[in-house]
RNA sequence: GCUCAAGUGGCGGAAUUGGUAGACGCGCUGGAUUCAAAAUCCAGUUCUUCGGAGUGUGGGUUCGAUUCCCACCUUGAGUACCA
């Protein structure tokens, strides 16, 4: 019986679907285990073989955990809002919901054919109103919350209002905007509603703020930094300007410290945690205020700086402000005005990226202004320099050239003094930056102190002066939450008198309106501005979305409502909480029930790409912590363990073609005219015969010659010498083949035109190329055309995308699953090469044969254990159990595939037919190759799915050996092996080894200096 | 520049606490089977002057190092002067 994988796989995929085999229950006696994949964005291109890598790994783990007796939640869904569908809509007018629906169908079909054990009954789609209803709901919760630093958690905004009404804001310790004005309870109660709302907005966890964005007028949209190349848009090359826009922001900075601390409690990869730590960017130091002075008189302006080295304050010899700093224009003296303005103009032309990446160019300008040193009262000159960025810290630096390399370089460049305040430090060549070795000198009351001591002392002194205090700074900035797009979650927000109003939760979801065009409006408003009906109109409990006219003509009495928000939410909104929704995916009353949340709690294993390190994985932790603060979820970190899967790279195929040629005539005395004639003759023969002809890569590989004049080239005579190539035109005209040279070029060939032996199908390739006048290719001695291979990122434009559909047809899903795992460690980047799949496919065929050793290859296992050979088979089985279990728990899936191959090879050699061996072996294999396992399981007589069969238990007693094949090393080099009884002690081993003839041969009469014996391991003879 | 990860046959990779380097698979070579091909099976496949040498390079620790330490080189990823 042959292994008909297509039939078997279709059969079991249907069985699993019909029987809902992998549906998880929210109550169970079993322990829970939640295995999660990062859900995909359903793009139009469908899946390529790189996408399922992580899904296969989680699927193996999920199936393994079911065998181990866990109640496993393994859901899947779609992150279905996103730009590509919107772009497609702009181009074709097709509603993004329709394209998304189509793409999801393709994804689902592709996922199903790989045999994943997803519980599809819990599928979520972020673009589904029943899902984004709750995204909107969470947004409202954020709006109605503020962060209380005293309790260190988010609290309800109504509490804050109470405090304001009873005691004003002076005692409130909240995370809020910088420019908060103090007010008393009386003030607050006297404010009108709009004023009160404005103030509250400065405290809310999601708030409206003016944010600088990269605005591209031509595209009518905001661009990300990497969509801008050399100051113009990547698409279309339109100019981009910095523009202030009012946008929703998320006060993630409130959670900076907790996001940092939380990393200690979760088992995520160290590199990923490090990335998040760097992103949060905590630095401890002090803020210091410098008073601006003019002619020794204190002015009204103060320059605030943050420094991590307050201990070096006596080393300050200048201040540097960002050119954009708001004080620059106010403090610059008339004499310096033109120089400063010129410099500002020059920096404005440089993009922020430019300014940041160029470390070598030092530039700046003196403002003419001075600040007063808080302790010495000496005047300090104030400069501007573009190495200081307005957006970071306060946009001002107290420059200590002896202790900071950039300040040092700046000072050297502009001849600013570099006072040395470090004991014993040499600062003649570079700044002294070693904190640990610092002993402060020339610093008044700090002299002789270490970095730590001096820091403490100086902060205390600054506090006495009222000119500074200890401060912790975070790099993490609040996240902009508005997008000028159509295909995203609408905000549950309308505006009254310019102030945002939340729509009551009972009216959710606020569904996306229909629009005719998905582009911005003519007045530059986001696409939702095109909606005919986008006004909120509410009387009591009755609410509707209406047109502007309808709204304006409605009765104002008892009316609530106004223009709805035109922005939509960003891509990360829906993905910031979806893992909670899977726990109770269809709940209409809550985002998930308390019972479900308390049962599943958190994700036990989360696998996804590392590219989400600072986006999704940070924002989702933030939302989880917020939901935790408000008592909506039971844990404040949602994923216990996280692994990043590496990318699968494509193996591109390159077709080589002959490009140009040359013919050597040197040393031949030929008249110029004749030479030109011969050149033309040569060129015409060549272009007829060889120009742009495809040439087999093995002919030129390694045959490159180097010519001083022409550079690298190939010699035609050498390359084609052995070949049956019609070159007589050259010879008949007196050209010497050995003097003809050529060079080549290469271009991508689609993988479909190349077979697994790297041979090009010339006809397919030509059909694809659609070029006329194709020449005969130059083939190798076997009449084949070889292509060369190169590993690159898998992408459409490189024609190296491998589609899993064809692999499933040709080799089956089980082969695909095994091969994806077999490629290498999960976390590593690795190239895909379809040729290798024959190895795992052959393994499955061999496995199939192992269970079909009956007459005419019919299914057969023997129920009575044979007296002979079972010992060896048991040994194979149990070492496999041990290894596979260890591998799965260490996420080392590649090595288990090898282990399976070794086991099947051994069983085959042992001619093992025993049920006692072959039945448990199937359970081991089932997480990896579930279809074939189910099929053989059924043939073994089971009428239930193998998916919950208990995992075999390892029994070490089967692995006990009576003898050991000792490696005998001389000076650490293994020279031969010697089989000795396991129970030999060191002396017996030594005696046996020394007596061996090969030992004497190695020693050649020398007496060994030392003999190392590790019983059960190794013998090493030194001498 | 900084941070992290990684460098092992023609290729993907294995060697989990320092103990037989190259498991397993691809590819390649030869053979069997076949009219032939595919498929399948068998044998070989790090290099070698057959003594040995060998895990990016150079040192070190050790009886013994792919594994530990130091310095360097290369590649990949992240980050961008964070004051």
Structure confidence at residue A659 (pLDDT):
80
Structural contact between residues A812 and A5, judged by C-beta atoms closer than 8 angstroms: yes
As a whole number of angstroms, the distance between CA A313 and CA A373 comes to: 9
Residues 431-460 of A with CB under 7 A from strand B: none
Interatomic separation, CA of residue A945 and C1' of nucleotide B9, rounded (Å): 43
Structure confidence at residue A578 (pLDDT):
95
Largest CA distance in chain A: 114
Q: Of A61-65, A515-519, A650-654, A778-782, which one has max mean pLDDT?
A: A61-65
Q: Report which of A843, A971, A961 is spatially closest to residue A897, judged by C-alpha positions.
A: A843
**A1022, closest nucleotide (Cα–C1'):** B63
Measured CA distances, A333 to A297, A329, A368, A499, A958 (Å): 15, 9, 5, 41, 89
Structure confidence at residue A657 (pLDDT):
85
ipTM for the predicted complex: 0.92
Q: Report which of A814, A911, A910 is spatially closest to residue A860, judged by C-alpha positions.
A: A911
Structure confidence at residue A701 (pLDDT):
67
Measured CA distances, A748 to A653, A753, A790, A800, A972 (Å): 6, 11, 10, 8, 49
Q: Buried b / exposed e across A165-196, counting CB within 10 Å, b at 16+?
A: eeebbeebebbbeeeeeebeeeebeeeeeeeb
pLDDT at residue A347 tops 70 = yes
Structural contact between residues A128 and A511, judged by C-beta atoms closer than 8 angstroms: no
Structure confidence at residue A707 (pLDDT):
64
As a whole number of angstroms, the distance between CA A60 and CA A63 comes to: 5
Asked if residue A388 keeps its beta carbon closer than 7 A to nucleic acid strand B, the reply is: yes
As a whole number of angstroms, the distance between CA A995 and CA A1021 comes to: 13
Asked if residue A397 keeps its beta carbon closer than 7 A to nucleic acid strand B, the reply is: yes
* pLDDT, tens only, A143-182: 999 999 999 999 999 999 999 999 988 888 888 887 788 8
As a whole number of angstroms, the distance between CA A808 and CA A785 comes to: 28
Interatomic separation, CA of residue A698 and C1' of nucleotide B26, rounded (Å): 19
Query: Considering only CA atoms, which residue is closest to the C1' of nucleotide B54?
Result: A973
Structural contact between residues A574 and A489, judged by C-beta atoms closer than 8 angstroms: yes
Residues 155-174 of A with CB under 7 A from strand B: none
Asked if residue A306 keeps its beta carbon closer than 7 A to nucleic acid strand B, the reply is: yes
**A825, closest nucleotide (Cα–C1'):** B13
**A757, closest nucleotide (Cα–C1'):** B27
**A282-474 has which CATH code?**
3.90.740.10
Asked if residue A378 keeps its beta carbon closer than 7 A to nucleic acid strand B, the reply is: no
As a whole number of angstroms, the distance between CA A80 and CA A830 comes to: 28
Question: Under 8 Å CB-to-CB from A993, ≥6 apart: which residues?
Answer: A966, A968, A978, A999, A1011, A1019, A1021
Asked if residue A289 keeps its beta carbon closer than 7 A to nucleic acid strand B, the reply is: no
Asked if residue A285 keeps its beta carbon closer than 7 A to nucleic acid strand B, the reply is: yes
pLDDT at residue A1023 tops 60 = yes
Asked if residue A732 keeps its beta carbon closer than 7 A to nucleic acid strand B, the reply is: no
Interatomic separation, CA of residue A396 and C1' of nucleotide B2, rounded (Å): 22
Asked if residue A971 keeps its beta carbon closer than 7 A to nucleic acid strand B, the reply is: yes
Give the pairing type, strands A32-37 and A71-73: parallel
**Share of residues in chain A with pLDDT > 90 (%):** 36
pLDDT at residue A91 tops 90 = no
- What's the rounded mean pLDDT across residues A181-205? 91
- What's the rounded mean pLDDT across residues A475-504? 90
Structure confidence at residue A231 (pLDDT):
63
- What's the rounded mean pLDDT across residues A648-664? 79
Average pLDDT of chain A is 85
Around Cβ A643, how many Cβ atoms within 10 Å? 20
A132-136, A229-233, A427-431, A792-796: least confidently modelled range: A229-233
**A5-129+578-647 has which CATH code?**
3.40.50.620
Structural contact between residues A1003 and A1017, judged by C-beta atoms closer than 8 angstroms: no
- For the record, the structure tokens of A655 come out as 């077709």
Q: Report which of A684, A643, A636, A631 is spatially closest to residue A661, judged by C-alpha positions.
A: A684
Interatomic separation, CA of residue A480 and C1' of nucleotide B42, rounded (Å): 67
Asked if residue A967 keeps its beta carbon closer than 7 A to nucleic acid strand B, the reply is: yes
Asked if residue A795 keeps its beta carbon closer than 7 A to nucleic acid strand B, the reply is: no
Structure confidence at residue A904 (pLDDT):
92
Interatomic separation, CA of residue A1019 and C1' of nucleotide B63, rounded (Å): 10
**A896, closest nucleotide (Cα–C1'):** B24
How does residue A282 score in pLDDT terms, banded at 50, 70 and 90? confident
pLDDT at residue A336 tops 90 = no
* pLDDT, tens only, A19-48: 999 999 998 889 999 999 999 999 888 888
How does residue A737 score in pLDDT terms, banded at 50, 70 and 90? confident
Structure confidence at residue A667 (pLDDT):
55
Q: What stretches of A576-706 show up as alpha helix (H) in DSSP? A: 578-581, 594-600, 616-629, 672-689, 697-700
pTM: 0.87
Asked if residue A270 keeps its beta carbon closer than 7 A to nucleic acid strand B, the reply is: yes
Measured CA distances, A609 to A170, A329, A410, A613, A614 (Å): 45, 47, 41, 8, 11
Interatomic separation, CA of residue A213 and C1' of nucleotide B29, rounded (Å): 64
- For the record, the structure tokens of A453 come out as 């001591």
Measured CA distances, A901 to A67, A453, A980 (Å): 21, 63, 29
A18-22, A432-436, A475-479: least confidently modelled range: A432-436
Q: Where are the beta strands (DSSP E) in A400-437?
A: none
Asked if residue A356 keeps its beta carbon closer than 7 A to nucleic acid strand B, the reply is: yes
As a whole number of angstroms, the distance between CA A192 and CA A445 comes to: 52
Structural contact between residues A502 and A317, judged by C-beta atoms closer than 8 angstroms: no
Fold of A835-958: Isoleucyl-tRNA Synthetase; Domain 1 (1.10.730)
As a whole number of angstroms, the distance between CA A125 and CA A39 comes to: 9
Q: Of A296-310, A348-362, A619-633, which one has max mean pLDDT?
A: A619-633
Interatomic separation, CA of residue A793 and C1' of nucleotide B21, rounded (Å): 31
pLDDT at residue A1005 tops 80 = no
Structure confidence at residue A685 (pLDDT):
81
Interatomic separation, CA of residue A986 and C1' of nucleotide B59, rounded (Å): 35
How does residue A693 score in pLDDT terms, banded at 50, 70 and 90? confident
Interatomic separation, CA of residue A760 and C1' of nucleotide B47, rounded (Å): 32
Strand B bases, protein C-beta under 7 A? 1, 3-5, 11-16, 19-21, 23-28, 39-41, 52-53, 63-65, 76-83
- What's the rounded mean pLDDT across residues A764-788? 77
Q: Which helix (H) or strand (E) holds A919?
A: helix A915-925
Fold of A963-1022: Ubiquitin-like (UB roll) (3.10.20)
Structural contact between residues A88 and A134, judged by C-beta atoms closer than 8 angstroms: no
Give the pairing type, strands A1018-1022 and A963-970: parallel
- What's the rounded mean pLDDT across residues A102-107? 93
How does residue A726 score in pLDDT terms, banded at 50, 70 and 90? confident
* pLDDT, tens only, A837-889: 999 999 999 999 999 888 778 888 888 765 555 778 888 999 999 999 999 99
* pLDDT, tens only, A886-917: 999 989 999 999 999 999 999 988 888 889 89
Structure confidence at residue A738 (pLDDT):
77
Structure confidence at residue A143 (pLDDT):
95
Q: What stretches of A478-553 show up as alpha helix (H) in DSSP? A: 548-552
* pLDDT, tens only, A600-609: 999 999 998 8
pLDDT at residue A724 tops 70 = no
Structure confidence at residue A234 (pLDDT):
66
As a whole number of angstroms, the distance between CA A689 and CA A730 comes to: 10
Q: Within its chain, how far is the Cα of A34 from the centroid? A: 22
As a whole number of angstroms, the distance between CA A803 and CA A881 comes to: 33
Structure confidence at residue A228 (pLDDT):
65
Structure confidence at residue A867 (pLDDT):
57
Q: Which helix (H) or strand (E) holds A957?
A: none
Who has greater pLDDT, A665 or A4?
A: A4
HSE (CB half, 13 Å, CA atoms) of A476? Answer: 26
Question: Under 8 Å CB-to-CB from A43, ≥6 apart: which residues?
Answer: A84, A103
Structure confidence at residue A568 (pLDDT):
93
Q: Of A471-475, A586-590, A693-697, A872-876, which one has max mean pLDDT?
A: A586-590
Residues 489-528 of A with CB under 7 A from strand B: none
Tell me whether residue A741 is exposed, middle or buried, using C-beta atoms within 10 angstroms of its C-beta: 0 to 12, 13 to 18, 19 or more: buried
Interatomic separation, CA of residue A836 and C1' of nucleotide B11, rounded (Å): 10
Measured CA distances, A369 to A307, A338, A384, A393 (Å): 21, 14, 11, 21
Boundaries of every domain in chain A: 5-129+578-647, 282-474, 490-511+533-567, 649-793, 835-958, 963-1022
Structural contact between residues A833 and A841, judged by C-beta atoms closer than 8 angstroms: no
Asked if residue A911 keeps its beta carbon closer than 7 A to nucleic acid strand B, the reply is: no
How does residue A353 score in pLDDT terms, banded at 50, 70 and 90? low
User: Could you give phi then psi for residue A201, rounded to 5 degrees?
Assistant: -60, -25
Asked if residue A853 keeps its beta carbon closer than 7 A to nucleic acid strand B, the reply is: no
């Amino acid at each position: 019986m042959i292994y008909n994988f297509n039939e078997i796989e279709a059969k079991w995929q249907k069985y699993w679907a019909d029987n809902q085999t992998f549906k998880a229950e929210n109550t169970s006696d079993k322990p829970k285990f939640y295995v999660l994949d990062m859900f995909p964005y359903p793009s139009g291109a469908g899946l390529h073989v790189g996408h399922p890598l992580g899904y296969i790994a989680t699927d193996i783990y999920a199936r393994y955990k079911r065998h181990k007796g866990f109640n496993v939640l393994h859901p899947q869904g779609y992150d279905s809002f996103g730009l590509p569908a919107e772009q497609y809509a702009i181009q074709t007018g097709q509603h993004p919901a329709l394209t998304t629906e189509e793409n999801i169908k393709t994804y689902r079909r592709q996922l199903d054919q790989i045999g994943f054990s997803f519980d599809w009954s819990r599928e979520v789609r972020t673009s589904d109103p029943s899902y984004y209803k709750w995204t909107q709901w969470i947004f409202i919760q954020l709006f109605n919350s503020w962060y209380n630093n005293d309790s260190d958690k988010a609290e309800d905004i109504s509490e804050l209002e109470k405090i304001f009404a009873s005691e004003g804001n002076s005692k409130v310790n909240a995370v809020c905007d910088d420019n908060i004005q103090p007010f008393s309870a009386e003030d607050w109660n006297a404010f009108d509603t709009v004023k009160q709302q404005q103030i509250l907005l400065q405290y809310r966890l999601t708030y409206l703020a003016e944010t600088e964005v990269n605005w591209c007028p031509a595209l009518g949209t905001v661009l990300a930094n990497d969509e801008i190349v050399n100051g113009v848009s990547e698409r279309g090359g339109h100019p981009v300007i910095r523009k202030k826009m009012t946008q929703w922001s998320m006060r993630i900075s409130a959670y900076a410290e907790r996001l940092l601390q939380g990393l200690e409690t979760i088992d995520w990869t160290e590199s990923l945690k490090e990335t998040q730590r760097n992103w949060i960017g905590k630095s401890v130091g002090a803020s210091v205020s410098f008073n601006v002075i003019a002619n020794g008189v204190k002015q009204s302006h103060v320059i605030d700086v943050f420094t991590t080295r307050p201990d070096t304050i006596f080393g300050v010899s200048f201040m540097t402000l960002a050119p954009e700093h708001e004080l620059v224009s106010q403090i610059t003296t008339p004499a310096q005005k033109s120089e400063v303005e010129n410099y500002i103009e020059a920096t404005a032309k440089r993009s922020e990226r430019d300014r940041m990446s160029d470390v070598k160019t030092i530039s700046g300008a003196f403002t003419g202004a001075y600040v007063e040193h808080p302790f010495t009262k000496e005047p300090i000159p104030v400069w501007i320099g573009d190495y200081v960025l307005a957006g970071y810290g306060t946009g001002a630096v107290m420059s200590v050239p002896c202790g900071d390399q950039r300040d040092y370089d700046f000072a050297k460049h502009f001849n600013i003094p570099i006072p040395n305040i470090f004991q014993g430090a040499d600062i003649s060549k570079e700044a002294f930056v070693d904190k640990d070795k610092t002993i402060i000198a020339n610093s008044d009351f700090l002299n002789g102190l270490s970095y730590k001591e001096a820091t403490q002392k100086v902060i205390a002194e600054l506090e006495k002066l009222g000119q500074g205090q200890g401060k912790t700074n975070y790099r993490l900035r609040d996240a902009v939450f508005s997008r000028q797009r159509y295909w995203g979650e609408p905000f549950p927000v309308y505006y009254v008198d310019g102030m945002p109003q939340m729509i009551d939760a009972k009216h959710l979801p606020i569904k996306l309106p229909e629009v005719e065009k998905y582009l911005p409006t003519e007045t530059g408003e986001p696409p939702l501005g095109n909606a005919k009906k986008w006004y909120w109109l509410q009387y009591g409990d009755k609410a509707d979305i209406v047109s502007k006219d309808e709204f304006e003509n409605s009765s104002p009495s008892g009316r609530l409502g106004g223009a709805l928000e035109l922005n939509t939410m960003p891509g990360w909104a829906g993905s910031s909480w979806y893992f909670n929704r899977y726990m109770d995916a269809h709940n209409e009353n809550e985002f998930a029930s308390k019972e479900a949340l308390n049962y599943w709690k958190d994700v036990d294993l989360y696998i996804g790409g590392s590219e989400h390190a600072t986006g999704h994985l940070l924002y989702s932790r933030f939302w989880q912590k917020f939901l935790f603060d408000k008592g909506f979820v039971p844990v404040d970190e949602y994923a216990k363990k996280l692994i990043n899967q590496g990318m699968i790279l494509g193996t591109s195929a390159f077709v080589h073609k002959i490009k140009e040629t040359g013919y050597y005539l040197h040393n031949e005395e030929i008249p110029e005219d004749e030479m030109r004639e011969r050149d033309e003759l040569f060129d015409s023969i060549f272009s007829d015969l060889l120009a742009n002809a495809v040439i087999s890569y093995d002919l030129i590989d390694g045959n490159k010659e180097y010519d001083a004049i022409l550079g690298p080239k190939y010699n035609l005579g050498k390359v084609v010498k052995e070949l049956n190539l019609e070159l007589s035109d050259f010879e008949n005209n007196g050209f010497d083949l050995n003097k003809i040279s050529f060079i080549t070029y290469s271009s991508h060939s689609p993988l479909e035109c190349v077979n697994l032996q790297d041979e090009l199908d010339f006809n397919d390739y030509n059909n694809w190329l659609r070029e006329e006048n194709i020449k005969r290719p130059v083939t190798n001695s076997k009449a084949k055309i070889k292509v060369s291979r190169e590993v690159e990122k898998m992408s459409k434009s490189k024609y190296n995308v491998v589609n899993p559909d064809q692999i499933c047809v040709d080799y089956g899903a089980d082969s695909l699953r095994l091969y994806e795992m077999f490629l290498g460690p999960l976390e590593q980047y690795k190239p895909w090469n379809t040729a290798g799949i024959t190895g795992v496919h052959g393994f499955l065929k061999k496995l199939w044969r192992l269970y079909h050793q009956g007459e005419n290859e019919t299914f057969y296992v023997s129920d009575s254990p044979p007296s002979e050979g079972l010992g060896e088979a048991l040994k194979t089985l149990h070492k496999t159990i041990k290894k596979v279990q260890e591998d799965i728990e260490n996420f080392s899936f590649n090595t288990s595939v090898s282990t399976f191959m070794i086991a099947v090879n051994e069983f085959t050699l042992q001619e093992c037919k025993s049920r006692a061996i072959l039945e448990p072996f199937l359970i081991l294999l089932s997480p990896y190759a579930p279809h074939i396992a189910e099929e053989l399981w059924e043939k073994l007589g089971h009428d239930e799915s193998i998916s919950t069969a208990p995992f075999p238990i390892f029994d070490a007693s089967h692995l006990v050996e009576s003898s050991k094949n000792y490696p005998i090393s001389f000076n650490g080099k293994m020279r031969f092996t010697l089989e000795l009884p396991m129970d030999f002690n060191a002396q017996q081993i030594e005696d046996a080894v020394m007596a061996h003839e090969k030992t004497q041969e190695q020693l050649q009469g020398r007496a060994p200096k030392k003999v190392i014996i590790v019983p059960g391991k190794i013998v090493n003879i030194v001498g």
